[in-house]
Structure 1
Amino acid sequence: MRFFTLLLGVLLPVLVAAETPDPDPWEGFNRKVFAFNETMDEYILRPVAKGYQYITPEPVDQSVSAFFSNLGDVVVIVNDLAQLKLGQAASDSARFLVNSTVGFFGIFDVASHIGLEKHDEDFGQTLGYWGVGTGPYLMLPFMGPSTVRDTSGMGISLVADTAYTELGENYAQQIGLYAINGIDTRADLIASEGLISGDRYTFIRSFYLQRREYLVNDGQTDDEWGDDDWDDESWDDDEWQEDEF
């Protein structure tokens, strides 16, 4: 069953994620989901994140973020290999090994200080690397902005047991890991809220689609945004992938 689910995850975007003239044909549905997410954020997630930010010292907050970032490098390495980026896979493997040992399970990002660059790869990007079209834009409940291709990529990651939540021995622990990461991510985004201008839905959709194009094409984009605008040190794609807030 797991094999057939994985196979479906690969074939589904091939069948339906062709490039379309309108990137958001489901805008009516997407805006309703967006409004739901905004409500949940206003009354639940943002207040919790602000409380977390208030009681958590900055060094601890940075260590929590680094811990989950290190766990995410497992997915990066798998997708490095899937995209035949063998040199990058070796670098990311060394980064994961250093941070998991010397960095005490990723709590300290020692690898960056010795020149091992942080990369960003996922199954959605891998599908794009092999020519799968983006497909329509899709706003997911709680998860935020996505596309048909990226949603399929998330499904593949879950089926392949590469998600960090697999560290949990039961569903309660897995949900706990996801909740902690979500709260930490939302807290980190509070300082960036002022960057959103105009219609929030349109701004976030445009940002997400252009950012994903940049990542799939390894920094090569024909958009009016320059390469420097998408520098990984300035933007954390995981934050915008998991929360549009």
Structure 2
Amino acid sequence: MSGGILEGKEILVTGVLTEASIAYATARIAQEQGATVVLSNFGRALSLCQRIAKRLPQEAAVVELDVTNTEHLSTLADRLREQGFDTLDGVVHSIGFAPQEAMGEGFPEVAWEHAATAFQVSSWSYASLAQACRPLLANPSSVVGLTFDASVAWPVYGWMGAAKAALESVSRYVARELGPEGVRSNIVAAGPLRSMAMKSIPGSAQFEEAWEGRAPLGWSVTDTEPAGKAVVALLSDWFPATTGEIVHVDGGFHAVGV
């Protein structure tokens, strides 16, 4: 498409696994808006990511990236260059994981090793991904992450909720440090969606019921388009002076009480 809001931009979208994900919606909309997109995943998910890359409007390149692998991080810029990406105008952090032991009830009983995994993969990786991409990041450029509003405690979310709170803070520190280089850092707080991430949470149906009853604009748990559009907007030049921000795409749920 010519004349889209990402015309001529090169964007890395991490963590694409299924078509039900915000990451996939982001990659698709980014292409429709004129971007060249490269995807990443790792391990067993890499082949799924390669399959999904073929379902986009234009088949996307795929690089392997495990954010817990220091070699993957240290070589990421060079491997992106090999794929023809000499600069990056945007990076989408769509990476989160907490072991089942860290979710559900029993929050204070969770062992450090399980909580640590949640923090490394879901929070620390935002900064390490930005650092890995830093040699390629254009001035201006944009890093965008995804959260589930961490300003309150949720049922069943457990240490993933604490890790998301850390992620939101990490984004602000990245905004502060990389701002002088023209790099913006923002987070989209989406409502509950029937993605792999949400399906892995025991008892997540109660989120759907709460949103249906309370979101002023209504909410569809199967529609990733609104969140994808928000990410693409933040990747574009239409938010040139916005950084360290959290944009809620949740039908307004966060703004109302009972």
Normalising by structure 1, what TM-score?
Answer: 0.32
Structure with the largest fraction of helix: 1
Structure with the largest fraction of strand: 2
Normalising by structure 2, what TM-score?
Answer: 0.31
Q: Which has the higher contact order (CA 8 A, sep 6+)?
A: 1
